Structure 1
Amino acid sequence: MPKSLRKIFASVASKVSKNSSSGAPLPELATLKKLAVPPRCVPSRSPTTTGAAAKPAKASPTVSSQVLARLKEAASKNSKASLPSAEDSAVEISRAISSILHGNNDAAGQSSAEPMLKKILDLPWFSNMSHAGTAQWRKDVSRGRKQKYKFKNTESYHFTKLMRMCASKLGTESTLEFFGKLGRETGIKEYNALIKLCIGRARYSAEEDSLVQIHRAYQLFLSMRERGFQIDEESYAPFLMYLIDMKMTQEFEHFSKFFKDENPGSCFRIGYFEMLLWIRVGDEDKIWELCSSLGIGRNEENYSLAESYLLAFCESDRKEELLKLLEVLDISKISSFNHVATIFKSLGRTQLQKFAEKFILELKTTGAGEENISSFIYDYATSIPNLPVEDTISEFNNLHQKLEVIPSTASFDKLITLCCKLSKVDAALDVADRMCQSCSNVSIESFHPILHACEQCCEPNMVHPIYLVMWRHNLKPKGDTFKSMISLCMKLKDFEGAYNLLTDAEEMNEMPTAGMYNAIMAGYFRQKNNCGALMVLKQMEDANIKPDSETFSYLISNCESEKDIGKYREEMQRAGLQVTKHVYMALINAYANFGNFKMAKEIALDRDIPNKFLNEIKSVLVSALSSNGQISDALRIYDEIKQAGCSLEPKAVISLIEHLRTEGELDRLLQLLEELNDSSSWFDGCSRIALYCIQYNIADAAVKLLKQLQKKDESSTYIVIDQIFSQIWETESTNLNIGLELLRAVKEELDLHPSRTSLDFLLSTCAKVKDSQHAWFIWSEYSNAGLPYNVLTFLRMYQALLASGECKAAKKMLKEIEEEDPHVRSIIKSCKMKYRRTISENEDRN
């Protein structure tokens, strides 16, 4: 009977669990030999196999016994750590393989994937057929699997994910055995994935645990040697960089010797890492010793070593040593253009323009190619520190002109991308205009980053200047270009301009597409003009352009009744259109908006949803439920997603944080905050939770969150602090005490000066609660923060004094206010009207 994949998982995981519980030490070289792939699973390696070394494997490692003993000791102590149960490991890894074989992002915990998962697990991977028929059987099975699955043996995201899971559940050694039992040969990419995993874990582990990971990585290197693989830079570089970052000089010296012995051709590149190490630990004597040992010009080997040292100095911007080597090195003899680019970037950071110009001229005479030279000029100009983007462009242009180099379209494109990343759309357009003047082979795609930046930076008004530059240089926009420009016109509410672009597209023989009409339709829907959007649908019909899935996603999202949702679903089905991710999302939001939460949940459970989209779609369901008051259901689905080993999309997390406003939910909110990885989402979530803390008078938690914000972005922390003081003032049951406590924490714990906005809100809060004593305290804080009093400050203080019944002090404050401005007079009059009773009572007493 053939073995199933599940049995293989369970057997390997069981073996690991037994070894772990018995406290057996991690396997050494002898054990790793046993982990070699069985002969019946893997064809014999021929002498010409890619990646295998022709020489026989060496008999013993060259790492010193002292270093090895330290690593073994740590590994043996760690060997008793518990691992997951065999069955759990088997199921989880099987699901991961199911996901990868289907080309999906997440398959864990998805009920719709269970039937297919069972088929995969029961798939026979080995056979008892005769050896004569094995070759043809393998060809047939391979052809069948290629038709069914999208499996690539590369170090892609999916493959790395599988390797990580296997190593986590089984350990690195048993992972090799596991892939061997699958009939898959363990190659260099598999080894590199496992080595990187060990290094990644070591970086986030305590010292003893990190030594265990180093030991495991070393075992993998030994296994590579036993298998006849050459240990090249891609394998050893992450390992050596970790030792450098941790300043582990003894380990570095021994392991670098090991790598040199295994691959003598790596000596020069390892010299680069060696120099980086001594720079990192600040050992000037070692740096001088290595530099003094160079004999540049004597032979090619010394020249290669000098190049490696030069690159290390470039990475570290060691200007003094860099200058000495630059004086004697021939830039044209640098081994690769990537290394030359590194040198020019360092010249920019150290502002060594003289050398940059000298090397450009030398490269011109050696025929390096103008496109490459232009790229080096870009590397230099964009690396100069503290240079505004306009000055960077000027430096780029001036160097090309001075050195008589024609700028390449590739360099211009990189400069455009840089401007767009910095939200400098007008500067990007200037670069594009200059490119069109200088180059004859400009592609319309060069303008796409600019159009995208206009969308991101909310600068739709730039669409007309962009189109003008295209028209002036006779560039013909494509369908996607027209769609982007139409979309920008609609954001400007320039309906005429959008329709003119449709006409221009026809005149340029670029037939209007559904996407172009969709952009107009989306614009009408943004304006809540459903009649206009439906008019566009009629125009598409008149132009014989069939609606696509995007069209229906807009229509469904903006349905005026639940009946319309069903109508559009039927029309899509009749047209034979695919239900895309965006259509599923539109259906969920539409049903939720009409209160049909049962149907919204059913859509998310549709078995036809591709697994790679399921996590996104469930996240939309969470957002739709939470924003429509179904916070309990939203949290339940969130918990299910977490239990399945998946994560919620940032927008859904923010939606949960926004709508989870009941008291006593701080722990849950902090748990949600941990889900956010990108900085912008985390900042948004953190600021919302800080406001929640203020709402329920949890000052200490708010201060802790502000400290976290400050570490990431101090300037943005001021914005959140202003929002907090604003909320204190707006709250119906105003709590001045928490505002004062927060003010103290801002000054003493965060060591920040309160902004004028924060103090203004606090002063207004004092007026609201009629507390003149604290109003005088806040008044003094303006001076302490170095903020001069302005007319609004005087008006707020005048109001606070009137509200507190201190009419005499209010009169004195009124004399400080210039009443020439009519708005100021209006505010004073309003204050007197509001507090006229207090004023009258005060006058009666006097």
Structure 2
Amino acid sequence: MAKSRLFEAFVSSAGKASQKHAAATAAAAAKASNNQAGGGNPTAKLATGKKTVVPPRSTSWPPRAASKPKTTAGVSSEVLSRLKQVASKNSNSKASFRPVADNPAGDISEVISSILHGIIDISKSSSSQVPNDRVIVNNILDKPWFSNTSRTCTSQWKKEISRQRKQKYLFKNTESRHFTKLMIMCANKLGNESTLEFFSKLGRKTGVKEYNVLIKLCIEKARSNTDEEDSLDQIHKAYQLFLSMKERGFQIEEESFGPFLLYLVDMKMTQEFQMFSEFFIDENPRSYSRIGYYEMLLWIRVGNEKKIQELCNSAGVDSSRDNISLAESYLLAFCESDRKKELLQLLEVVDVRKVSSLKYVASIFKSLGRFQLETFSEKFLLELKTTGTGDEKISSLIYDYAISIPNLVAEEVVSKFITLHQRLKMSPSIASYHKLITLCCNSSKVHAALDIADKMCQSGLNVSIESFQPIIHACERSCEFDMVHPIYSMMRQHNLKPNGDTFKSLISLCTKMKDYEGAYRLLIDAEEVGEMPTVIMYNAIMAGYFREKKKHRALMVLKQMEDAGVKPDSETFSYLISNCDCKEDIVKYYEKLRLAGVFSTKHVYMALINAYAKLGNFDMAKQVVLDNEVPVKHRIEIKSALIMALSSNGQLSDALNVYDEIKQAGCSPEPKAVISLIEHLQTEDELDRLHLLLKELDDSSNWFDGCSRVILYCVQHNYVDDAIDLLKQLKEKDRKSAYMVIDQMFSQIWKTDPTNIETGIELVRAIKEELDLHISRTSLDFLLSTCVKAKDSQCAKLIWAEYEAAGLPYNVLSLLRFERCLKSTHNFLSIKSFVKSCTWTFKHTDLICFPVSLPLYFQTILIESGALLVCHD
């Protein structure tokens, strides 16, 4: 295996090579990184075109008693005219996409280059903005996408073969999320019409799934737009796509029109809904019953009670198949709302045994559970059972009913599930058992999940060992590590043979509860049942020893692996490298990794970064990222690890430089790296950057973490207005989290030196008046302690008044804090008058533990108030 530049740098560093050689190595690595990150910067003249909207032929909707829609006067074309005006207005500001006739391949090459390099946003740029001196781009389509050059390296040759195999179906796998991502990217750059033309140039046949991707993109943009005209423009683009589907002979099914109609329902666009529903029925008459589902959702959404009742009454007019399908659609709409009265009305009409899809039946049973209609549920279950519906499907419906009953904890859901099965004289299916186990595990009810697993094993079903995996993971999440023994005991009791992954998980639980004897016993048991101990099992034990800082025992595990003939893997070396105490050990283990032929994974590179950063060798930590063997797909993760290592070790300037490099490449760092930057950026005048970093966090949990840290920064540097603005955002998303952060804020004020009690007083006012939240005792205790620290008796009186306003009773600790604050001003008369003015309500049975420092007159007043005092040191 060829040695990487990183490995050469390690060897050079360990052998103390000349500075000239080290500089040359670093320069070569930097050059390789620049070559990889660089590339052409072509521009292209591209823009989207618009089609004129052709109004659909109008028909009446919905048909009530007939199987086909009747033809009546059409709906007014005002809606389409408005869409046309918006579309023409927007199209005037955009150039249309016209491939160059003489060199279509070259033009498409410019399109591909522009997309891949992210240079031009076609949807926002006009043709006049493109420079006249066009950058000459190599014809991408004339070049092979995959090189046929022979490789001497075996691993590289295998990668090449894999790429050639993928080439055969790269553009044929319509289910691929990679293709969907590429198509969305092209649509954002080129527009819908040009995207279809673009893929046709590549020989890609446009099908229904491609159209659905573009239609959903239009709907997402319409939802995100706050401007009404922009939203209408997206509706117009979606309609153009429907017209294009019609022209190409594609059938417009619910998968295509469903999301579109659902958007119109959410926006309460009744006129537009009627017009487009007519269009869809005209193109696909079979869809009118399913469109009835969306129409009922529309009238429920706008609250048109007259229309709702009219449709309900029409559902039972005759027993034709079309009318039954329409009634079924109305019923499903009521299942997703709180219309219990209408639901009961249609349940008398619809025969659940004739519902077209099991998915729809499941929706009905979920609504029965939500409304607690157990009589109906038992009736329908018996009807389904008598008509030959399989036990597995019925068991699944029972689960859907039980899980939907409101205000039931996991154990109560299990009890209801078992009871209904007993009434029907049937056994639960293994799939339903698995759902119950998952439910209990998600609720951290590990004991209940294990009881269900026991019942499942006793029922005689063909239970696999994977059924216990969610329980093991739940034990780890809830830190109930001691459950490993009853779990393993149950496996052995029911003669279930754990596989390698299960043994690894069990061993990991043992190490986390520091039961290494049990972990080694599991290794022996694995060998006895035919599962030879693997490297992942040994790694679990090694990781446990390293967590406890028992390095010598961890190295003993490495020796045991060698004796057992188990070869270490990249995870083993990542543990070893992460826990090195000197540079020589790092190089030694990395060299062993290379000699063993172990491929360096992202975990190895991250371990190298953290190890060198821990030793203060930041140049070598940066060198890791420049290694030419770092997988491209993991480069952002590895750079994010570098950001965390640098920021946590005080190298904020370098960490921000790496962050800027990632952003300039059009990528986003890992959330943990962003949070690390927010945590360590504590100098003044960094608020703007912190706000930008906070916008990087999309996931709610990460955003909460980052937001709380920015709020504490604002409190520390007295940015009260910014702290309140962020608290407002936090309150809107999670009120409970807002209260937690408020307590942290006042704790931050108490920790800050010098103290700024005025900031605390201003925050109390804003929280009460602007956020309409109450102040907790914890927050007031921190503020009162801050007054003691600042020796500010005036602010202490204001805080004491907040205790009274919040209805919080006095306690000894708050009394002592206030007394110390008044004592610091040497105003003993104020202390005595304050204590006497307080109303104390104690019973003779109330024991109050007080410190020896409590003044005697305090003790006297408390005893007179009825308290029994117990002194402690």
* TM superposition score category, shorter chain reference: 0.7 to 0.9
1:536-566 alpha-carbon deviations (Å, 9 max, x no partner): 1011111111111111111111111111121
Check conservation: 1:514, 1:546, Cα contact below 8 A: yes
Take 1:813 and 1:447, find their aligned partners in 2: how far apart are those partners?
A: 63
Equivalenced residue count is 751
Take 2:694 and 2:512, find their aligned partners in 1: how far apart are those partners?
A: 33
Equivalence map 1:641-660=2 (5 Å):
641-660=662-681
Check conservation: 2:312, 2:346, Cα contact below 8 A: no
Among 190, 196, 203, the residue aligned to 1:170: 190
TM score, norm. by length of structure 2? 0.82
| CA displacement at 1:124 relative to structure 2 | 5.6
557-566 vs 191-200, which moves further: 557-566
1:791-821 alpha-carbon deviations (Å, 9 max, x no partner): 2222222222222322234456778899998
Take 1:692 and 1:149, find their aligned partners in 2: how far apart are those partners?
A: 52
Among 340, 348, 361, the residue aligned to 1:327: 348
| Residue 811 (structure 2) pairs with residue 785 (structure 1) | no
- Specify whether residues 419 and 304 from structure 1 end up closer, same or farther in structure 2 by C-alpha distance, changes over 3 A only: same
Query: Which amino acid counterpart does residue 415 of structure 2 have in structure 1?
Result: S
Check conservation: 1:155, 1:190, Cα contact below 8 A: no
| Residue 102 (structure 2) pairs with residue 76 (structure 1) | no
Take 1:427 and 1:690, find their aligned partners in 2: how far apart are those partners?
A: 40
Take 2:371 and 2:660, find their aligned partners in 1: how far apart are those partners?
A: 52
Quote the residue 2:427 is aligned against: 406
Among 215, 219, 243, the residue aligned to 1:195: 215
Quote the residue 1:828 is aligned against: 854
1:308-353 alpha-carbon deviations (Å, 9 max, x no partner): 1110110113111110111222111111111111111111111111
| Residue 637 (structure 2) pairs with residue 616 (structure 1) | yes
Take 1:615 and 1:493, find their aligned partners in 2: how far apart are those partners?
A: 35
Quote the residue 2:52 is aligned against: 28
SS at match of 1:251: helix
- Specify whether residues 291 and 362 from structure 1 end up closer, same or farther in structure 2 by C-alpha distance, changes over 3 A only: same
Take 1:807 and 1:194, find their aligned partners in 2: how far apart are those partners?
A: 77
Equivalence map 1:53-452=2 (5 Å):
65-81=77-93, 90-94=112-116, 123=143, 144=164, 146=166, 153-205=173-225, 206-295=227-316, 298-452=319-473
Quote the residue 1:36 is aligned against: none
| CA displacement at 1:119 relative to structure 2 | 10
| Residue 780 (structure 2) pairs with residue 759 (structure 1) | yes
Check conservation: 2:46, 2:96, Cα contact below 8 A: no
SS at match of 1:14: coil
Check conservation: 2:53, 2:84, Cα contact below 8 A: no
330-339 vs 288-297, which moves further: 288-297
Query: Which amino acid counterpart does residue 158 of structure 1 have in structure 2?
Result: H
Equivalence map 1:476-495=2 (5 Å):
476-495=497-516
Take 2:589 and 2:708, find their aligned partners in 1: how far apart are those partners?
A: 40
Quote the residue 1:704 is aligned against: 725
1:623-666 alpha-carbon deviations (Å, 9 max, x no partner): 11111111111112212212222111111111000011110000
- Specify whether residues 465 and 151 from structure 1 end up closer, same or farther in structure 2 by C-alpha distance, changes over 3 A only: farther
Among 601, 621, 633, the residue aligned to 2:622: 601
SS at match of 2:249: coil
Take 2:782 and 2:538, find their aligned partners in 1: how far apart are those partners?
A: 48
| Residue 535 (structure 2) pairs with residue 547 (structure 1) | no
Among 37, 45, 66, the residue aligned to 1:14: 45
- Specify whether residues 315 and 175 from structure 1 end up closer, same or farther in structure 2 by C-alpha distance, changes over 3 A only: same
| CA displacement at 1:430 relative to structure 2 | 2.5
- Specify whether residues 447 and 593 from structure 1 end up closer, same or farther in structure 2 by C-alpha distance, changes over 3 A only: same
Quote the residue 1:558 is aligned against: 579
Take 2:426 and 2:138, find their aligned partners in 1: how far apart are those partners?
A: 63
Take 1:577 and 1:84, find their aligned partners in 2: how far apart are those partners?
A: 53
Query: Which amino acid counterpart does residue 201 of structure 2 have in structure 1?
Result: K
1:237-284 alpha-carbon deviations (Å, 9 max, x no partner): 111111111111111111111111111111111111111111111111
Check conservation: 2:265, 2:297, Cα contact below 8 A: yes
Check conservation: 2:613, 2:645, Cα contact below 8 A: yes
| CA displacement at 1:597 relative to structure 2 | 2.1
Check conservation: 2:510, 2:518, Cα contact below 8 A: yes
Take 2:462 and 2:522, find their aligned partners in 1: how far apart are those partners?
A: 24
- Specify whether residues 638 and 10 from structure 1 end up closer, same or farther in structure 2 by C-alpha distance, changes over 3 A only: closer
| CA displacement at 1:787 relative to structure 2 | 1.3
Among 533, 542, 558, the residue aligned to 1:521: 542
813-822 vs 561-570, which moves further: 813-822
Structure 2 gaps, min length 5: 1-40, 55-73, 98-106, 120-136, 146-160, 859-873
| Residue 771 (structure 2) pairs with residue 747 (structure 1) | no
Check conservation: 2:581, 2:615, Cα contact below 8 A: no
1:710-758 alpha-carbon deviations (Å, 9 max, x no partner): 1111112111111111111111200000000111111111111100100
SS at match of 1:79: helix
SS at match of 2:45: helix
80-89 vs 520-529, which moves further: 80-89
- Specify whether residues 305 and 575 from structure 1 end up closer, same or farther in structure 2 by C-alpha distance, changes over 3 A only: same
Quote the residue 2:19 is aligned against: none
| CA displacement at 1:73 relative to structure 2 | 0.5
| CA displacement at 1:65 relative to structure 2 | 3.2
| CA displacement at 1:179 relative to structure 2 | 0.8
Quote the residue 1:538 is aligned against: 559
Between the two proteins, what is the percent identity of the paired residues?
A: 65
| CA displacement at 1:759 relative to structure 2 | 0.6
1:770-807 alpha-carbon deviations (Å, 9 max, x no partner): 11222122112112112111222222222222223222
- Specify whether residues 63 and 455 from structure 1 end up closer, same or farther in structure 2 by C-alpha distance, changes over 3 A only: farther
SS at match of 2:514: coil
| CA displacement at 1:151 relative to structure 2 | 5.3
| Residue 593 (structure 2) pairs with residue 567 (structure 1) | no
| CA displacement at 1:458 relative to structure 2 | 2.5
Quote the residue 2:21 is aligned against: none
Check conservation: 1:331, 1:340, Cα contact below 8 A: yes
| Residue 600 (structure 2) pairs with residue 576 (structure 1) | no
Larger helix percent: 1
Quote the residue 1:837 is aligned against: none
TM score, norm. by length of structure 1? 0.84
591-600 vs 410-419, which moves further: 591-600
- Specify whether residues 827 and 566 from structure 1 end up closer, same or farther in structure 2 by C-alpha distance, changes over 3 A only: farther
Among 745, 766, 791, the residue aligned to 1:724: 745
- Specify whether residues 388 and 214 from structure 1 end up closer, same or farther in structure 2 by C-alpha distance, changes over 3 A only: same
Check conservation: 1:381, 1:395, Cα contact below 8 A: yes
Take 2:592 and 2:111, find their aligned partners in 1: how far apart are those partners?
A: 45
Take 1:84 and 1:691, find their aligned partners in 2: how far apart are those partners?
A: 50
1:450-491 alpha-carbon deviations (Å, 9 max, x no partner): 111222222223222322332332222111111111111111
- Specify whether residues 300 and 265 from structure 1 end up closer, same or farther in structure 2 by C-alpha distance, changes over 3 A only: same
Quote the residue 1:105 is aligned against: none
Take 2:118 and 2:422, find their aligned partners in 1: how far apart are those partners?
A: 56
- Specify whether residues 121 and 823 from structure 1 end up closer, same or farther in structure 2 by C-alpha distance, changes over 3 A only: farther
583-592 vs 425-434, which moves further: 425-434
